[in-house]
């Protein structure tokens, strides 16, 4: 969703609030009235430590106190000390890797704006101010969420006690892993440095309807199946995407919580589906296994696998989450199927992913943590016009410290191997690819 949003525009918005505040002459200024903390935003996921392990926003509520605007941000700065290697065909002088050294990566920043429009109705807008894949400010997406409807009658009151409606150009709710991932400058929810190797995340235009009751939840959504809008006539590939989610999330005791969920997504025909390639900010492993002349802007997804399901795409993700005291276990089993536009007449390819996180949070405020992750992807990719079975493995060990609830420092050691990629004249930059090393990240989220 590439919409430039200049800092000048943002200053105009803030100036408008300021002028309205100074002109009112009231004891409580309009600026203070409108710019409040997240405690006055209903059905909201905080951007700081309080938002960790929150998935769909729950149906509990804070009192409606009138129209509110909340401005927050996410900032992330990294130091990287990684090294990489691969199979290089000396005879053809091909697939030499980027000369990777130690240093600081480009800082990333998000601007978060949340608007309480009416009782039970809020609007969210996130803007990437700086990202690896984009230097300019541009809008990630936004949505309006209804947890109440402005209709009279007991029917609507009772319905919205359990129902939630979201509509917009937004991050779709496929799987649970996207609630724990890094997203541009917003990296505080993620106990590790990077997202999964197969990163299921995209923004699409559509709507979602939820039902929640006593820990049981379900969702159905429909979208345009693409990362942006398109009004071109005669594009026969365009068909809507349908996705479903359901599960159970129970607080069994004061210290024990269990959540199990399953999600399914299908888009039978698209001009450019990006379910597994929708991140427009980029990876947090900069330039690993990229070619010698690569740039961070054009090669922003280093260390991930893009299966290339641009024409037909489906995904099934099963997730389990258990928290006992400070110990957290989070697991993912996922299978994606699809094919690219170049493979329209072929059968679908399949790719499988397994991932498991173990995180232990220490202290009364759980402000120190240690973590370990294993992530593996295996499947068929379309490489240089040929289908090849490949495998990628990653092990990551992490640790972090919340200095405050909105300031965090974390570090990670990672090692990743790429296996079974073609060699010889058909070799790619990933053939016998490996990278390992340390990444340290400072994070602010509020």
Task: Kindly report, residue by residue over 204-213, the tens digit of the pLDDT.
Answer: 999 999 999 9
Least confidently predicted of 19-33, 211-225, 276-290, 344-358 = 19-33
More confident residue, 17 or 150: 150
pLDDT of residue 91: 60
Q: Would you say residue 335 has pLDDT above 60? A: yes
3-state secondary structure the chain: CCCECCHHHHHHHHHHHHHHHHHHCCCCCHHHHHECCHHHCCCCCCCCHHHCCCCCCCCCCCCCCCCEEEEEEEEEEEEEEEEEECCCECCCCECCECCCCCEECCCEEEEEEEEEEECCEEEEEEEEEECCCCCCCEEEEEEEEECCCCCCCHHHHHHCCCEEEEEEEEECCCCCHHHHCCECCECCCCCCCCCCCCCCCCEEEEEEEEEEECCEEEEEEEECCCCCCCCCCCCCCCCCEEEEEEEEEEECCCCEEEEEEEEEEEECCCCCCCCCCCCCCCCCCCCCCCECCCCCCCCCCCCCCCCCCCCEEEEEEEEEEEEECCEEEEEEEEEEEEECHHHCCCCCEEEEEEEEEEEEEECCCCCEEEEEEEEEEEEEEEECCEEEEEEEEEEEEEEEEEEECCEEEEEEEEEEEEECCCCHHHCCCCCCCEEEEEEEEEEEEC
pLDDT of residue 42: 93
pLDDT of residue 384: 85
Query: Is 93 domain-assigned?
Result: yes
Query: Is 22 domain-assigned?
Result: no
134: confidence class by pLDDT, cuts 50, 70, 90: confident
pLDDT of residue 423: 87
List pLDDT tens digits, range 159-211.
999 999 999 999 999 999 999 999 999 999 999 999 999 999 999 999 999 99
Residues 6+ away with beta carbon under 8 Å from 61:
42, 43, 120, 147
pLDDT of residue 385: 86
Query: Is 189 domain-assigned?
Result: yes
Q: Would you say residue 66 has pLDDT above 70? A: yes
List pLDDT tens digits, range 71-91.
999 999 999 999 999 987 666
Q: Would you say residue 16 has pLDDT above 60? A: no
pLDDT of residue 196: 98
426: confidence class by pLDDT, cuts 50, 70, 90: confident
Residues 6+ away with beta carbon under 8 Å from 274:
202, 226, 227, 310
pLDDT of residue 93: 67
More confident residue, 16 or 255: 255
pLDDT of residue 24: 43
State which residues form the domain around 250.
36-445
More confident residue, 257 or 106: 257
Task: State both tokens at 52.
Answer: 């960790």
What pTM does this model have? 0.90
Burial class, 37, CB count within 10 angstroms (exposed 0-12 / middle 13-18 / buried 19+): exposed
User: Distance (Å, rounded) from C-alpha 288 to C-alpha 294?
Assistant: 10
Average pLDDT over residues 145-166: 95
Average pLDDT over residues 131-142: 89
Q: Would you say residue 139 has pLDDT above 90? A: yes
* Residue 432 near residue 226 (C-beta atoms within 8 A): no
Query: Is 185 domain-assigned?
Result: yes
User: Distance (Å, rounded) from C-alpha 73 to C-alpha 48?
Assistant: 10
Query: Is 243 domain-assigned?
Result: yes
129: confidence class by pLDDT, cuts 50, 70, 90: very high
pLDDT of residue 136: 83
The CATH code of the domain that includes 287 is 2.40.160.10
Q: Would you say residue 14 has pLDDT above 60? A: no
Q: Would you say residue 252 has pLDDT above 60? A: yes
Q: Roughly how many angstroms between the first and final C-alpha of the chain, as a whole number?
A: 23
Percent pLDDT > 70 in the chain is 89
Query: Is 18 domain-assigned?
Result: no
Least confidently predicted of 15-19, 210-214, 330-334 = 15-19
Query: Is 31 domain-assigned?
Result: no
Q: Would you say residue 49 has pLDDT above 60? A: yes
pLDDT of residue 199: 98
7: confidence class by pLDDT, cuts 50, 70, 90: very low
pLDDT of residue 38: 57
pLDDT of residue 26: 43
CB atoms within 10 A of CB 254: 7
Q: What distance separates the 2 farthest-apart alpha carbons in the chain?
A: 78
Number of domains in the chain: 1
Query: Is 341 domain-assigned?
Result: yes
pLDDT of residue 424: 83
């Amino acid at each position: 969703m590439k919409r430039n949003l200049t800092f000048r525009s943002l200053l105009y918005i803030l100036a408008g609030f300021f002028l309205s505040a100074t002109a009112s002459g009231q004891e409580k200024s309009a600026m203070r009235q409108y710019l409040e903390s997240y405690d006055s935003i209903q059905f909201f996921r905080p951007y700081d430590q309080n938002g960790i392990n929150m998935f769909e926003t729950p149906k509990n509520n804070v009192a409606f106190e009138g129209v509110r605007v909340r401005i927050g941000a996410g900032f992330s700065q990294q130091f990287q000390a990684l090294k990489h290697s691969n199979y290089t065909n000396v005879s053809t002088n091909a697939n030499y890797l980027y000369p990777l050294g130690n240093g600081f990566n480009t800082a990333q920043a998000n601007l978060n704006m949340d608007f309480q429009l009416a009782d039970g109705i809020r609007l969210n807008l996130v803007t990437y101010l700086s990202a690896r894949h984009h230097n300019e400010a541009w809008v990630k997406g936004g949505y309006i969420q209804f947890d109440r409807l402005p209709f009279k009658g007991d029917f609507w009151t009772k319905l919205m006690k359990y129902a939630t409606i979201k509509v917009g150009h937004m991050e779709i709710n496929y799987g649970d892993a996207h609630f724990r991932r890094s997203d541009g400058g917003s990296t505080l929810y993620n106990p590790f440095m990077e997202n999964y190797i197969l990163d299921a995340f995209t923004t699409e235009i559509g709507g979602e309807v939820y039902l929640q009751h006593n820990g049981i939840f379900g969702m159905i959504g429909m979208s345009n199946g693409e990362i942006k809008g398109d009004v071109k006539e005669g594009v026969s590939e365009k068909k809507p995407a349908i996705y479903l989610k359901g599960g159970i999330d129970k607080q069994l005791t004061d210290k024990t919580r269990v959540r199990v969920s399953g999600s399914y997504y299908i888009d039978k025909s698209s001009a450019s589906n990006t379910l597994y390639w929708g991140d427009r900010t980029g990876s947090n492993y900069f330039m690993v296994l990229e070619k010698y002349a690569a740039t961070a802007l054009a090669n922003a997804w280093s260390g991930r696998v893009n299966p290339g399901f641009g024409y037909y795409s489906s995904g099934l993700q099963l997730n389990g989450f258990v928290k006992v005291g400070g110990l957290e276990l989070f697991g993912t089993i996922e299978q994606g199927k699809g094919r690219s536009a170049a493979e329209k007449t072929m059968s679908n390819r399949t790719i499988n992913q397994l991932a498991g996180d173990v995180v232990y949070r220490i202290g009364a405020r759980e402000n120190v943590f240690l973590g370990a992750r294993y992530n593996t992807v295996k499947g068929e990719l379309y490489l240089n016009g040929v289908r090849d079975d490949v495998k990628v493995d990653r092990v990551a060990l992490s640790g972090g410290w919340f200095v405050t609830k909105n300031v965090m420092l974390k570090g990670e050691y990672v090692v990743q191997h790429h296996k079974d990629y073609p060699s010889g004249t058909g070799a790619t930059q990933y053939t016998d690819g490996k990278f390992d090393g340390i990444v340290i990240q400072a994070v602010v989220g509020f």
